[in-house]
Chains A and B, each alone.
Chain A
Amino acid sequence: MNKIFSHIIRFVALVLLQVLVFNKVLLFEHFNPYLYLVILLMLPVHIKHWLLLVIGFVTGLTVDIFSCSLGIHASACVLACAFRPFIINLFHNEKELKQGIVPELAWFGMSSYIFYTLLFVFIHHIVFYFLSVFTFDNFFRTLFYILVNTLITTLFVIIYQMLFHSRK
């Protein structure tokens, strides 16, 4: 129960932080860190897969409503969440892990956590950028934006992890 509560607090805090602060941060005239993805990155490993998708959808939609981009974050989050179990399986065998464990920097280790975040954020950003641009014109320019923004978001996620979840 306590754990569910901490997830809810994280949800509210990070959505507010995203909408009120990070949506207004504009690095190099273009890039936005999407720190709210931490909400989805930190859902328990053994969460039901359909529930993971639903939470992804709700989180994305909430951010959408406050960004005038209805559906775009939601779609990106749902796809990223669909891939999340497979990404975690790349580093750890899901079945061997203890019940109720949460993917955080402390037990993932730095290098796996960076890769885990990079992959998740990259999938999210592919959908997000192509849906918001809504064209495959200038494919490589969009791809460049995706890659740079992935690095920026990942950097912010890692900083967040180091601040709050590096040690138990």
Chain B
Amino acid sequence: MQNIFRFLLKHNFIFTFIILQTISIWLAVSSNDYQRFEANSYVSAVEGSIYEMTSGISGYFKLNKQNRELSEENAMLRNQIPTSYRDNEAEISLSDSSALRINFPVLNFVPASVIYNSVNQRNNYFIINKGKIDGVKENMGVISLTSIVGVIINVTDHYSSVLPVIHSKAKISVKLQHANEFGIIKWDGVNYRKAILEEIPVHAQIAVNDTIVTSGRSEWYPANIPVGIVKSFTINEGSGFYTIEIEFIDDYYKTTLVYVVENKYQQEIDSLMHNIHE
């Protein structure tokens, strides 16, 4: 026993190194994983308050307040536009359409501001200043004033973390605005302004500067929100699909105001999906 102890003491440098390096690599590898990010949730409340404080200092005080009011108002307006309502022509024609629509809002928007974001890592995260208390839940979509941002992956009482489209695990279901062909956007981890669009078949007509919009097929984002612009494309001979380089509409480094999108029929969709998978 004493010998072991003496041995450890003599080589304390090596042992400290091995222990610390194992802990940190284990942390790094496990937190890389989408699911294990939840382990981070205990810090995100503390982080949240610190980042909120600093973003309050760095932002201009008056502008912050004005922005909040504006986004509050925008959210209210968005709740009233037709695309937020269940589109059911039959029902609408049967009765007074406007009354019906007000009774059946499908989407609800919660305004929030980004208090932390990173853009130059392979797995970037955003933290926003709305949480459980404000009705934010996991798996809700997050959109900005002009484009989409990501998906809520973790919620504390007052804050939530967002897995943005600039994350190696992010996949966005999109379509070409004009051609109505569906594809998937993946971020390749290089430049936070650019991404790769895949699975557009070669018979589709595309051109540089075409707009890519959300397909509406994913549960996270409403349809027809602009996502990016085609920058260049090549035909992938083997697969019969294009490989398209797009540029995001949003500069995610500068994103400050966002909306969390709540789909009121999410549970119904989820239960159907669940049944299919069973």
Contact = CB atoms under 8 A, between A and B. Distances in A.
Interface residues of A, number: 35
B13 A68 contact: no
9 contacts: A50-B16, A53-B16, A54-B16, A61-B27, A68-B116, A69-B28, A69-B121, A74-B20, A138-B190
Interface of A: 20, 23, 26, 29-32, 49-50, 53-54, 56-57, 60-61, 64-72, 74-75, 78-79, 82, 131-134, 138, 141
A123 B40 CA distance: 27
A66 B122 CA distance: 16
B125 interface: yes
Interface string B169-200: 00000000000000000000111110000000
A49 B9 CA distance: 12
B26 interface: yes
A54 B12 CA distance: 12
A48 B183 CA distance: 57
Interface of B: 12-13, 16-17, 20-21, 23-32, 39-40, 43, 47, 50, 54, 116, 118-125, 127, 161, 189-193, 253
B111 to A, nearest CB: 23
A75 B118 contact: no
A20 B54 contact: yes
A14 B191 CA distance: 28
Contacts of A65: 43, 47
Contacts of A141: 190
Contact of B31 (A50, A53, A57, A70): A70
A68 B40 contact: yes
